Structure 1
Amino acid sequence: MRFPPTAPQRRRLLPAAALASAALLAGVTPASAATGTAAPGAPYTGMGNCPLSAPAMHDPANLQVGCLVSVTNAGKFTLGSTVVPFNSPITLQFGFYWDKSAPEVAFPDGSTANQYTVVPPTSAPLLSAPMVQINIPGIQNFLPGITSVFAQVELAGPVTKFTPLATGEPYPVFQLPIKLHLYNALFGAHCYVGSDAAPLLLKPTTGATGATPPMTGDPGTLDYAPDPNGHGALAISETGASLVDNTFAVPGANGCGLLGSLNQIINWTMGLPAAAGKDSVSFQQTNASFVLDTDIADLTAALSDSAAH
């Protein structure tokens, strides 16, 4: 596949905002894991943690390789009867590849898109989410962490089925398993909603969800450019996207209090467990940067040369 692409090829290559996006990193990092020296510059700003040296990225069977970095600046979770707002950015960053098995997804309109395998960063978290505070209904919050609950979103498994070309389609951009770590002076250190075995499986889309009633996202504004230094990489950006999901279920709390003694109280307070259709997530103001290449050596050189200019 040649770069820059023709119009039909762009339909296969251009991404949806992911993450969330699926987050993500808005600023330049002080050092680059990709080059070992300076961080990549425009149009690859923020991609210094892309796992370019990971063995999976160097498999000769790979037909395409790439990096993604994204930041979500607003949004909220609705978990049962509890609404958790995002008041700080959520970031996602990872590498990915498309191998010779050429997995594709077919959409209702007859078009198709490549589906990629995600490779997590080797020196940074794939998901970085802020801790948020949840007020307890009926209790005045005068001692945060005692009269309120702090919640931290954590990964509960690998990100899968990355389909960046699902822009505006009724199909998830990726699948993101998470768990919610709850902190309170009475809860103990292992209080969670969700677990690695029973995660909240998010399937955010910029199109319409499959729930009733559906939620509808927004693919935002898309732009792309060939590598400025003559490499074969294609750089893509997406700004102002909205990714939504209301198809996941939320299990009850686990591990809260001595021998789980507070699990039921938390469930009652938060309205858990909650079946699919009663929960939702909205990732708003999502800005993503994406680069795609047919060769890992060329992609590595593109990021390295961008740091030198």
Structure 2
Amino acid sequence: MSKTSLSLALATALAGIVSMPAAIAGTPSGAFSIFKNCPYTNPSVTTCLYNVVSSGSFVIGNTTLPITSPITLQGGLESVGPSPLYDAVGAPTLASVPAKVPGGLLGIANPAPDWPFPLWVAFWSIVNSVNDVTATIELVDTVQTNFLQALYPPAPDSGEDPVAARLTVRVHLQNPFLGGTCYIGSPQNPIRINLQTATTNPPPPNQPISGEPGNSYYVWVDEANYVGYIQDDDNSLVDNSFAVPGASGCGNVALGLPIITSVLDFLVSGAVNLKVGLPSAAGKNTAIMSGDTSLAASAYVLASEQ
């Protein structure tokens, strides 16, 4: 499906809605139920997005975080071209299941020789009881999108911006020793990931990598009334040009250690940064997010309510 045919398909969907019977207010039904959390009643929203990332990975500094559980990105768009992503209603806009960090606490932090003895004891006590560390991606700003560029990436020499989704995020690391406020990145100093399906042009030492637009087609729900939605399967969005700031807020003060909070943060966050290799400059990090994308006219979602 070309850019022109995709635009026509969505235009037809929006125009065809006038022939649809009035729906009773409720929940989107049938094939449109996946868009139930789209803010489809917002007059600025013409298109609903439901994207599920099922595989891929994040390379942050010296650490690779595989995507082993689905990550869902959903909400509303002004258009399939440049648009902010309006937040989902009744569910997170970005729903990321906490993923285990390979190596656990030993893989994310090691005690340094200058740690006070009580901190050493606390560290090894936690390792012996629960080594697991989880990482969760969290949005800290509005997602900016251009899904036409995802479905139909521009040629490298076209001069067009190939970015399909700009994510501003932080990574939440959790473990009884790290505590609940240990983050890589922050709202003031976030990780900015510019995902595309084209070929990247990263600073060294990273080399160019390519995404995959996937297989796009129109799913007919009611062909007689021109009702349906755009489905794009097996796409892959990539970026290996972003920088990653250091971790902060690490160290669980609830352990009752005789160390003031600022010192505990300095020691534990420092150990995390040393082990993971943070901060990590652009050209040393990579994001690969692969999955399926669904786009529907918000008017059809509204009309499917039951």
TM over 0.5: yes
User: Which of 285, 296, 299 lines up with 1:291 in the alignment?
Assistant: 296
Map residues 212-251 of structure 1 onto 2, 5 A cutoff: 212=203, 213-225=207-219, 228=222, 235-251=229-245
* Runs of at least 5 residues in structure 1 that lack an aligned partner in the other structure: 1-5, 16-33, 58-64, 99-112, 293-298
Q: 1:47 is matched with which residue?
A: 35
User: Which of 243, 251, 266 lines up with 2:272 in the alignment?
Assistant: 266
Distance in 2, Cα, partners of 1:234 & 1:144: 54
Distance in 2, Cα, partners of 1:144 & 1:209: 43
Pairs aligned (count): 255
Kindly provide the CA deviation profile for residues 155-179 of structure 1, in whole angstroms up to 9, marking residues without a partner as x.
Answer: 1111014333432525121101110
1:225 is displaced (CA, Å) by: 4.3
SS of residue in 2 equivalent to 1:276:
coil
SS of residue in 1 equivalent to 2:272:
helix
After TM superposition, what 4+ stretches of structure 1 lie above 6 angstroms from structure 2? none
Question: Scaled by the length of structure 1, what TM-score is found?
Answer: 0.73
Q: 2:87 is matched with which residue?
A: 120
Question: Scaled by the length of structure 2, what TM-score is found?
Answer: 0.74
Residue type of the partner of 2:57? K
Kindly provide the CA deviation profile for residues 62-82 of structure 1, in whole angstroms up to 9, marking residues without a partner as x.
Answer: xxx100101111111100000
1:146 is displaced (CA, Å) by: 4.2
Distance in 1, Cα, partners of 2:37 & 2:24: 9
Work out whether 1:130 is the aligned partner of 2:128: no
Q: Look at both structures and tell me which one has the larger radius of gyration over its CA atoms.
A: 2
Kindly provide the CA deviation profile for residues 203-228 of structure 1, in whole angstroms up to 9, marking residues without a partner as x.
Answer: 11111112151110111111114661
1:8 is displaced (CA, Å) by: 6.0
Q: 1:110 is matched with which residue?
A: none
Distance in 2, Cα, partners of 1:49 & 1:181: 24
Q: Is the 8 A contact 2:25 2:305 kept in 1?
A: no
Distance in 2, Cα, partners of 1:144 & 1:232: 61
Q: Is the 8 A contact 1:40 1:47 kept in 2?
A: no
Q: Is the 8 A contact 1:71 1:92 kept in 2?
A: yes
Q: 1:183 is matched with which residue?
A: 174
1:128 is displaced (CA, Å) by: 0.5
Residue type of the partner of 1:39? P
1:199 is displaced (CA, Å) by: 1.1
SS of residue in 2 equivalent to 1:116:
strand
Change (3 A) 1:234 1:251: same
Q: Is the 8 A contact 2:2 2:152 kept in 1?
A: no
Q: Is the 8 A contact 1:35 1:303 kept in 2?
A: no
Work out whether 1:151 is the aligned partner of 2:145: no
1:230 is displaced (CA, Å) by: 5.7
Distance in 2, Cα, partners of 1:145 & 1:245: 37
